[in-house]
Amino acid sequence: MPSIDLTGKAAVVTGSGRGLGLAYAHALAAHGASVVVNDIDEAVAEAAVKSITEAGGTAVAEVVPVGTTEAAERLVNRAVEEFGRLDILVTNAGILRDKVLWKMTDEDFDAVITTHLKGTFTCARAAAVRMREQGEGGTLILVGSPAGQRGNFGQTNYAAAKAGIAAFARTWSMELGRANITVNAIVPVAATAMTETIPAFAPYIEAMKNGEPLPDFLRKGEGFGTPEDCAALVPFLASEAARGVTGQAIGVGGDKVALWSHPHEIAAVYADGGWTPDTLADVWPTSVGAELQSVGIPAPKFPEA
């Protein structure tokens, strides 16, 4: 495997003031890329830039909430103004507005869709325009979630957005392939402010903060670790070592990296001349309905006390 060297490349990482986004930005900078850090809080964004530059990297901050075309163009233009080009985009920015379907408001739905789904679209579109103009290829890394792969209770808006992001990766990998622009979705699992609120994980995350390592059953069995554990995948996908990898959904967390399958037919049955409700009812239990698919993110398998 060649050494991962991103020297001379410029990246935008949305939502990179803290957490997973900051880990992605640090990893890119550590491998030579110049990074535009993005957050809605100026103090958080500047602190992130300081942490990168103090570690020997190059970074600037652009404070803007993603979602609009104007925000996307600001981010791309900042990279071009500061570094002369754009080679890598990581669409990490996101918010949560969790509620069950019958309690979710239009505002709850629209806010999450705007940030995650429309924000990914507008930023990717602006980046693709610039990369195509440069004519040297590029990398789009779209941040998905297990919720988008399997659904999750109380996350109508978030799960729908993340499922759409996986579909973006498949579609754009075809559209941008001739321009040598790779597009992949990553599916990270890590100890963040969000997972810290899950009671089953809370004591392990608290112990981790106090310097204790996460146990193997989490790091390996659940693929659950720190944001930094997820970060290595980003510079890898941005490098020449992954130039042939596109249109994929790749899970990462703890000690685990995994490839998610695309949706595909798993069973079929046929009737000459077509179907009626009665003929469907007759064959369903012993044909396509014999083994229905599960939904939701499987509960962690904690060791017995």
Q: Which amino acids are annotated catalytic?
A: 145, 158, 162
DSSP reduced 3-state for 161: helix
E strand segments, the chain: 10-13, 34-39, 58-63, 88-91, 138-143, 181-188, 249-253, 256-260
Question: For residue 273, with 0-12 CB atoms within 10 Å meaning exposed, 13-18 middle and 19 or more buried, which class applies?
Answer: exposed
Residues linked to residue 142 through DSSP beta bridges, in sequence order: 91, 185
CB 169 within 8 A of CB 185: yes
Question: For residue 277, with 0-12 CB atoms within 10 Å meaning exposed, 13-18 middle and 19 or more buried, which class applies?
Answer: exposed
Alpha-carbon distance 68 to 58, whole Å? Answer: 26
Alpha-carbon distance 45 to 61, whole Å? Answer: 6
How many other C-beta atoms can be found within 10 angstroms of the C-beta atom of residue 167? 18
User: Can you spell out the DSSP letters for 224-278?
Assistant: -B-HHHHHTHHHHHHSGGGTT--S-EEEEETTEEEEEPPP--------TT---HH
CB 9 within 8 A of CB 87: yes
Pairing label, strands 256-260, 249-253: antiparallel
CB 27 within 8 A of CB 234: yes
